[in-house]
Structure 1
Amino acid sequence: MRLTQASLAPLLCLLAACGGGGEDAQKKGQQGPPEAGFVVLRAEAVPLVSELAGRTAAFETSDVRPQVSGVVQARLFTEGAMVTRGQTLYRIDPSIYRAAVAEARANLANAEANLTAQQARADRFRPLAEIEAVSRQEYTDAQAAARQAAAAVQQQRALLDTAQINLRFTNVPAPITGRIGRSLVTTGALVTANQAEAMTMIQRLDPIFVDIQQSSADLLALRRALASEGVVPSSAEVRLRLEDGSDYPQVGTLQFAEAMVDPQTGAVTLRARFPNPQGLLLPGMFVRARFSQSTAPAGLLVPQAAVSRDPRGVATVFVIGPDNKAVRRNVRAERTVGDAWLVTAGVRAGDRVITEGLGRIEAGQPVRPVPAGTPRRAPAPQVKGGEGNAQAGAAAR
């Protein structure tokens, strides 16, 4: 019995070695070509969205200044409230201007009375001049005096109108409709008609402007793309991201771009107009504007996971060839659109770009293509080494 077991030991070792080698070969045969998850490229219209910094500006701004001099008798508005055009904001002491109106009215009455007398004298001299009872010169002088009296009436009427206008200006009105700021003068303050300081300021905030800064280099690149690269202009819709990171719910429209570059910043100002019914946007706020100035009509979007770059920065992708072999291609990917690269050269519509399993794939290697997102197939169960040795031992016994 001992001799038999000793003679069978080499045989058992040989069987175990043969069993292990067969297991490795079987494992390699089961693996085969690696799976390659792919997406099929399709040409589509891709808006080229830009996100630029901007600041809000009031749609209308008006400084309220006095047009006559005097002492402020009353302030007739609530600071920070909405005011309408023509609403009285301040009242200036009108005493002097009422007196000026009365004086102008009396001067007008005097001029009108003088006109009546001069016109009657000229009318009486007319028949007398025809019969030569008075000289022609006297009649001419009477007519000239009547015309001078009429001109004096017009002059005094204009002075009366001026006095009445000045009296009306003692009630300082709101020039525009909007939200009024704080008052910069108090009751009892002396104001003058030509003063530089404003009494208050009114801003119209609905709608509101957003001034966006774009570098002149980007603007030149956009114009070249529109002229030569098949890119077409996009709609003028603009969306905002506020300072706290939230999105502004209203959509604005791009109005115009200035025809000059700021020499200090090298940027061009674009102006967008937004509705602001809730007054959420205030002048001077910093915002981020997102809008599309152009659209690639036949753009190809490649998932970012499929694009890699070599040490020189050249972008490459793996494409499944006709014989199901991985083919490496250099592509031109200069900008991202969401979670994908916009590729403008190196691939075309219909290509199958590998996005999954790239760590197991090399150029020229056969692959087993499956649509991206397909669940991986579970590997076949394999025989453990211990069980194989047991089986070999049983066979030997």
Structure 2
Amino acid sequence: MKTSSQPLFRSAAAVALSALVLAACSGGKEQQGGAPGAGAPLQAPAVTVMTVASGSVPMVTELPGRTTPYLIAELRPQVTGILTQRAFDEGSEVKAGQVLYRIDDAPYQAAHDSAKAALARAEANAQVARIKAERHAGLVKIDAVSKQANDDTQAALKQAQAEVAAAKAALDKARIDLDYTRLKSPISGRIGRSAVTPGALVTANQTQALATVQQLDPIYVDLTQSSADMLRMRAEIAAGRMQTGAKGEVPVKLILEDGSEYAVEGRLALSEVTVDEGTGSVTLRAKFSNADGVLLPGMYVRARLPQGTRSDAILVPHKALSRDPLGNALVMVVNAESKVEARPVKVAQSLGSDWVVTGGLAAGERIIVEGLQKARPGAPVQAQEAGAQPAAAPAATAS
């Protein structure tokens, strides 16, 4: 029994030893190959960078605003009566002094004729009083009439003259009322819709305007600016950094609602003398030529006021700049060690698709313009210059 069990034991030991060797060999292969990425170093993310450069950049202040008529006149009747005619086309151009409405003038013509007759009667009575006063003035010198009678005739003459003056005033009033039955445009411009039609009763100095005339050439643009910015702008004008015209006028360019630029350049006309207590802003007014009628009252526009040029400014694309929770501007810089650095910068303004950076960046530094979501401050990245051809992938080695 003992001799028969030894061969079986030796066979089992050989099988176990073979299994251990095979396990060790397979384990070595797994450690050499392993699962993909297991134990391998992480690859730095690829980002696109732009090398910034300093240069001369035009500085522009951009302000919101709305167009306002140069002149505006609301037509209201100054006499009461029935409207008999509307003598214009709605929306048309009218001239100063042009008759726009007619009111029934029959009662005012009668009042005018009556005042004219009253003046004639007063002038006739004054003539009689003058002759009588002159006669008594001569007779009193020879004691032909009493001084009392002479004084009475002189007083009667003055009273008659006063009645003539009153009659003339009444005639002038009647003439004015008669002229008011024809409503004329006080200014030249474009007239809007009519609030009444012929046959309507209108009253003197009524609240509702019959129509409105607006002069749109030239036209004003009212701009809103904070009082702090206004003080800074005045300081830059005084220092000569903001461009001005020959008469010290500031040129202004307009950007219309559709993003296009208005063809005609305007001039800053005035600034409000009072700061709005609620908003802390002031109103600036610019004047523009509007011969083609492109600008209409109430349009929202943006005005650009040139402030000269800055020679050491850096342009940074909008997409490359972000904000921290406090609203401070940041850009991601790739340093000499190919590591990301969050850099606070000072932004002066927006210019087209770029920000004008005046502090925090130096010429020659590289900023990330694409791949910001993969960049972390302090982490390494693979930087590729914007516009450069991507590097070729390494060829796979044959197994």
The correspondence for 1:118, drawn from 126, 129, 140, is: 129
Contact 1:238 1:289 in 2 (8 A): no
C-alpha RMSD of matched pairs (Å): 4.2
Query: Counterpart in 1 of 2:43?
Result: none
- The Cα shift of 1:179 comes to 0.9
Question: TM-score normalized by structure 2?
Answer: 0.69
Contact 1:329 1:346 in 2 (8 A): no
The count of residues paired between Structure 1 and Structure 2 equals 335
Aligned: 1:206 with 2:206? no
Contact 1:38 1:356 in 2 (8 A): no
- The Cα shift of 1:333 comes to 2.9
Aligned: 1:223 with 2:237? no
- The Cα shift of 1:291 comes to 1.0
Query: Counterpart in 1 of 2:314?
Result: 301
Contact 2:270 2:286 in 1 (8 A): yes
- The Cα shift of 1:282 comes to 1.8
In structure 2, relative to structure 1, the CA distance for the partners of 1:155 and 1:72 (3 Å cut) is same
The correspondence for 2:60, drawn from 48, 58, 61, is: 48
The correspondence for 2:285, drawn from 230, 251, 271, is: 271
Contact 1:319 1:329 in 2 (8 A): no
- The Cα shift of 1:238 comes to 2.7
- The Cα shift of 1:252 comes to 2.4
Which amino acid is the alignment partner of residue 269 of structure 1? Answer: T
The correspondence for 1:170, drawn from 170, 176, 181, is: 181
Deviates more, 1:84-93 or 1:55-64: 55-64
Query: Counterpart in 1 of 2:258?
Result: 244
Structure 1, gaps ≥5 residues long: 1-35, 364-371, 387-397
Aligned: 1:280 with 2:294? yes
- The Cα shift of 1:125 comes to 1.3
Distance between the aligned counterparts of 2:197 and 2:390, measured in 1?
83
Query: Counterpart in 2 of 1:108?
Result: 119
Distance between the aligned counterparts of 1:220 and 1:125, measured in 2?
81
Which amino acid is the alignment partner of residue 280 of structure 1? Answer: V
Give SS of 1:90's match.
Answer: strand
Query: Counterpart in 2 of 1:98?
Result: 109
- The Cα shift of 1:180 comes to 0.9
The correspondence for 2:152, drawn from 135, 141, 146, is: 141
Distance between the aligned counterparts of 1:357 and 1:169, measured in 2?
71
- The Cα shift of 1:184 comes to 1.2
Contact 1:59 1:206 in 2 (8 A): yes
Give SS of 1:232's match.
Answer: coil
Which amino acid is the alignment partner of residue 220 of structure 1? Answer: A
Distance between the aligned counterparts of 2:203 and 2:105, measured in 1?
14
In structure 2, relative to structure 1, the CA distance for the partners of 1:227 and 1:196 (3 Å cut) is closer
Deviations 1:221-255 (A, max 9, x none): 56358659x88334433333333333332222222
Give SS of 2:175's match.
Answer: helix
In structure 2, relative to structure 1, the CA distance for the partners of 1:107 and 1:274 (3 Å cut) is same
Question: TM-score normalized by structure 1?
Answer: 0.69
Query: Counterpart in 1 of 2:12?
Result: none
Contact 1:101 1:164 in 2 (8 A): yes
Distance between the aligned counterparts of 1:181 and 1:309, measured in 2?
48
Structure 2, gaps ≥5 residues long: 1-48, 245-249, 372-376, 379-384
Give SS of 2:161's match.
Answer: helix
Contact 2:333 2:368 in 1 (8 A): no
Aligned: 1:155 with 2:155? no
- The Cα shift of 1:139 comes to 1.1
Which amino acid is the alignment partner of residue 266 of structure 2? Answer: G
The correspondence for 1:332, drawn from 339, 342, 345, is: 345
Query: Counterpart in 1 of 2:242?
Result: 233
